[in-house]
Structure 1
Amino acid sequence: MSKNQNTFIKKQKAELKKRKKRDKQEKMAARKDQPKSGDLDDMIAYVDEFGNISDTPPEPEPPKKENVPRPSSLPRPQNTQQKFNRNNKFKNE
């Protein structure tokens, strides 16, 4: 009985091997039939703010302007420049 099982398994393995080889040849033929462009535009992918990948570039958003009022009640700093002496001390002019 083991002889029949061995031959059946061998036939199954051979059939599986032939099927894989045929599938591989079909895939190779399909790849060869596809046009090759190699353009840089075809290879570029864009990512939006949500992390989704797309082929089209995102729409440029206008720059945001922040209108922060400057506090006028604070006194402006006066021109206080300091010079460095040789004695490692600062003195005001």
Structure 2
Amino acid sequence: MGKKNFNAFVKRQKAEKKRKKKEEKRLKLEERESTTGKLEDMIAYVDEFGNIVDEPPEEQKSEEDKEKE
């Protein structure tokens, strides 16, 4: 009789442990997703002086466009 109750207890313990592990895994995933940045945030540009900047450079007109004006 005691053995039967013990098995039920062990099953509940295992189920609870599995549920906690799954919840921790879900929280880790959400944390990773929230901390990773977008691609636009990771891109760096180099200006005409060789300095690294966050903003994209202004588009300059090419020689052909200048001649047409």
TM-score (norm 2): 0.51
Alignment of 1:1-93 (within 5 A): 1-36=2-37, 38=42
Deviating beyond 4 angstroms after TM superposition, the runs of 4 or more aligned structure 1 residues are 37-40
Q: Distance in 2 between matches of 1:13 and 1:38?
A: 43
* The structure with more radius of gyration: 1
Match of 1:62 in 2: none
- Bigger fraction of residues in strand: 1
The alpha carbon displacement at 1:35 in A equals 3.2
Structure 1: gaps spanning 5 or more residues: 41-93
- Bigger fraction of residues in helix: 2
Q: Distance in 2 between matches of 1:19 and 1:4?
A: 23
Q: Distance in 2 between matches of 1:39 and 1:13?
A: 46
SS in 1 for 2:4: helix
Q: Distance in 2 between matches of 1:2 and 1:11?
A: 14
SS in 1 for 2:22: helix
Q: Distance in 2 between matches of 1:19 and 1:26?
A: 11
Structure 2: gaps spanning 5 or more residues: 45-69
SS in 2 for 1:22: helix
Deviations for 1:38-76, whole angstroms, at most 9, x for unmatched residues? 569xxxxxxxxxxxxxxxxxxxxxxxxxxxxxxxxxxxx
Greater RCO, CA 8 A, separation 6+: 2
Q: CA RMSD in A?
A: 1.9
